[in-house]
Structure 1
Amino acid sequence: MFRSAVLKCVKKPSSTLDYGQHMPKEYVERVKRTVPKKIYSNRLGAPDIIRWVLPPEDYVPTPERPWMDNSLQKNLTRSNNYHKSLLETKFFRLRKPQYNKKLPDDDWFIFTGDYVIVMVGKDKHRKGKVSQVNRETNTVLVEGLHTKLKDINSELGRVGLKPMKRWEEQPLDVSKGEVKLVNPYNESPTDVEWKLNEKGTEYIRISKATGHEIPLPKEAFVTYEYTTKEKYLESKKDTTATEVLKRTYVPKLCTFEDEIMESLGIKEKRQRKPTFWY
């Protein structure tokens, strides 16, 4: 009963909306390399010993998605260095840079497609649109703002050509107040909070300064599978809604083993010994 009540509770959009929300968690952990390589169990009551491909505390979050080529290559290199150090006499030092801990869902308010105002750097007090959100590092990228000139291909100099350069957006830390949402009432930066709507059916963002609602952008609902739920195309591997709503479970008084034997046509003439609960 308690579990059913918890599942029916209204959830904040920050806990559900994400571009990779439908990506299998096991796959994400595998590309991060933070999965057990071998687990030594049955140690006579002692806790299990886990040998990791890469220890979770040594994982370094990157601005890109973990399954992107650059991030995947960095994780593979890092895990290889970790296992090489186990065979050497040198102590493996965690080279993970210091970064802020992931903000809880209650304190996260910015999504892809939001209009924000940059509060630091050369583009201070300029308004822009959020193009990417990284919850692991509490950072966002703003289109055309807080940029840095970087080389696209530095190997062109070997051929005698000038290296190509382009402006690349740099991450802005939300936890340090480097960006703030735009108040639609007066176009000024504002702090926001989550509040239930009048019907109590969903959480909405409310400006602390004026009390006006800041609606969620359409881009916040985009995932790697669809732009909107209505435009999603079902494939052969998808379970249709009619199949999901079918009731296939029939409660029985027999045990699980007896139910399997009955379905397979196995008949057991022996009688089980009585069991007692104290």
Structure 2
Amino acid sequence: MVRLAYRLLQRKVPEYWKRHLDRAMNLSAKPARYVPLRGWVGEDKRLNWMYTQDKPSTMENQIENRKTHHEVELIEPIEEWTIQRGDRVEILVGRDKGKHGIVRDIVYQRNWVFVEDLNLQYTFRKEIGQLIAQEMPLDVSSEVALVDPRTGKAATKAEWRYTETGKKIRVLFPSGVILTPEKMFEELADGVCPQTYIANPQTDTTEKQLERTTYEANLKTFEEDVMDNMDIVETRTRGKTYWY
């Protein structure tokens, strides 16, 4: 059933998840209130949404945004990201400077990347009596750089180029190496990764069931269609109907 819903949303309503996230993010707005002699007054100004490592569709992110008012953080957007999930990068700042790691997650709204098991922050939790390690964000423009597979060092520059066949590729400079990650994870708007999704034969709809025709259009009325499905034979003739 999950797979069927995914297929329908992908084909029929491609912007469903975007609208769903927009509605979830608008929950941080102050609700309308009733004012005597004026009626219901709505609040047009809403709280600024704070993007974190958690997706906006998760309950953790929504709870975090309902706590307090967040100040506006001015961020210069990046038009074309040369760093993607699954890339090997080198950290340029901090205690892990010079170490290589794999990009685990990206927050495009804040120019953040998270590298697996690097740039960790440890916090002690009294309720469980343990130190919890959490990966902290790194600025993609100044704190990380792609690793050149030929030299094993950080590349000075990366650009998008086009081949003779029109394929879009990434080129590292100064070596000119074409970067092709071993495995790219394409995450959809709802957080589902098609490459790592494992179908469940007990709950998911198969491809054969999706292609099966379950309804054929005809010119019969609703009553006639029900009678045919229930093998009811009607020998009487319907009277003529006149419209004036």
Same fold per superposition (TM over 0.5): yes
Deviation at 1:187, TM superposition (A): 1.2
The answer to whether the Cα contact below 8 Å between 1:33 and 1:75 also exists between their aligned partners in 2 is: no
Query: CA–CA distance in 2 between the matches of 1:36 and 1:169?
Result: 30
SS of aligned partner of 2:50: coil
1:32 lines up with 2:25 in the alignment: yes
Residue 131 of structure 2 aligns with which residue? 165
Q: Which of the numbers 103, 110, 113 marks the counterpart of 2:78? A: 103
Query: CA–CA distance in 1 between the matches of 2:72 and 2:49?
Result: 10
The residue correspondences of 1:153-192 to structure 2 (distance < 5 A) are: 153-155=125-127, 163-175=129-141, 177-190=142-155, 191-192=157-158
Query: CA–CA distance in 2 between the matches of 1:232 and 1:198?
Result: 38
One-letter identity of the residue aligned with 2:61: S
Q: What TM-score do the two structures reach when normalised by structure 2?
A: 0.63
1:73 lines up with 2:46 in the alignment: no
One-letter identity of the residue aligned with 1:114: D
| Structure 2 residues without counterparts, runs of 5 or longer | 1-13, 33-40, 213-242
Query: CA–CA distance in 2 between the matches of 1:230 and 1:127?
Result: 28
Q: What TM-score do the two structures reach when normalised by structure 1?
A: 0.56
- Relative to structure 1, the CA distance from residue 120 to residue 27 in structure 2 (aligned partners, 3 Å threshold; closer, same or farther) is same
Larger radius of gyration: 2
- Relative to structure 1, the CA distance from residue 232 to residue 51 in structure 2 (aligned partners, 3 Å threshold; closer, same or farther) is farther
- Relative to structure 1, the CA distance from residue 155 to residue 242 in structure 2 (aligned partners, 3 Å threshold; closer, same or farther) is closer
Q: Which of the numbers 116, 134, 159 marks the counterpart of 1:143? A: 116
Residue 195 of structure 2 aligns with which residue? 228
The answer to whether the Cα contact below 8 Å between 1:59 and 1:96 also exists between their aligned partners in 2 is: no
The answer to whether the Cα contact below 8 Å between 1:99 and 1:137 also exists between their aligned partners in 2 is: no
One-letter identity of the residue aligned with 1:76: R
Q: How many residues align?
A: 190
1:114 lines up with 2:114 in the alignment: no
The answer to whether the Cα contact below 8 Å between 2:28 and 2:49 also exists between their aligned partners in 1 is: no
The sequence identity of aligned pairs, in percent, is: 22
SS of aligned partner of 1:184: coil
1:54 lines up with 2:46 in the alignment: yes
1:197 lines up with 2:163 in the alignment: yes
- Relative to structure 1, the CA distance from residue 22 to residue 233 in structure 2 (aligned partners, 3 Å threshold; closer, same or farther) is farther
- Relative to structure 1, the CA distance from residue 23 to residue 174 in structure 2 (aligned partners, 3 Å threshold; closer, same or farther) is farther
One-letter identity of the residue aligned with 2:93: V
SS of aligned partner of 1:149: strand
SS of aligned partner of 2:66: helix
One-letter identity of the residue aligned with 1:130: V
- Relative to structure 1, the CA distance from residue 167 to residue 23 in structure 2 (aligned partners, 3 Å threshold; closer, same or farther) is farther
Query: CA–CA distance in 2 between the matches of 1:130 and 1:109?
Result: 12
Q: Deviations over 1:30-56 (max 9, x none)?
A: 2222688899xxxxxxxxx9844835x
**Could you say what the CA RMSD is over the residues aligned between the two structures, in angstroms?**
3.8
